[in-house]
Amino acid sequence: MRASLPDNSTEAIDPAPTIQPAINAAQQFIVVRAPIARVYEQWSRIEDLPKFITPLRQVQRIDDAHFSYTWHPNGGDQRGMFHIVLQIPGRRIAWRTVSNGFMSGVVSFEPRSQQETEVTLKIRSIFDPPNLSRRVEEYLHNFKRLVENEEIGR
């Protein structure tokens, strides 16, 4: 016996459903030896993200909340845009891509002492979980080195 939809059904039969990539999340934190104001200020220089997020090649400001970027994920340059959806000075920055692929993230800053700041980075992406966790950890270590080395040079 063959199943059929009633004549008044609004359901559509899709002969080739599109498979959406899974969205995965990774979260890591690191303690940076610098005051929270300095740490937040460094991260909020959005055009400097390629200094510690290694696949990014270039970030350019479009307006106060929108940025275009070029990145090199798997052997070829790709372009995209992201939007800062939340910015609480000294505490948190959240963003979301508005173009090809899906990625969103939030970075939070908590004072540990006068001279130490805990930085927590959470990213949601289509990257597979082990790869995503490794990337988040790498970006935080790069950021820590950047901030602490710049502190020494001051």
| pLDDT per residue as tens digits for the range 82-113 | 999 999 999 999 999 886 666 899 999 999 99
Q: What is the mean pLDDT of residues 141-153?
A: 84
Q: Write out the chain in H/E/C secondary structure.
A: CCCCCCCCCCCCCCCCCCCCCCCEEEEEEEEECCCHHHHHHHHHCHHHHHHCCCCEEEEEECCCCEEEEEECCCCCCEEEEEEEEEEECCCEEEEEECCCCCEEEEEEEEEEECCEEEEEEEEEECCCHHHHHHHHHHHHHHHHHHHHHHHHHC
- Span 24-45+82-153 CATH architecture: 2-Layer Sandwich (3.30)
Report domain extents, the chain. Answer: 24-45+82-153
pLDDT in tens, 28-58: 999 999 999 999 999 999 999 999 998 888 9
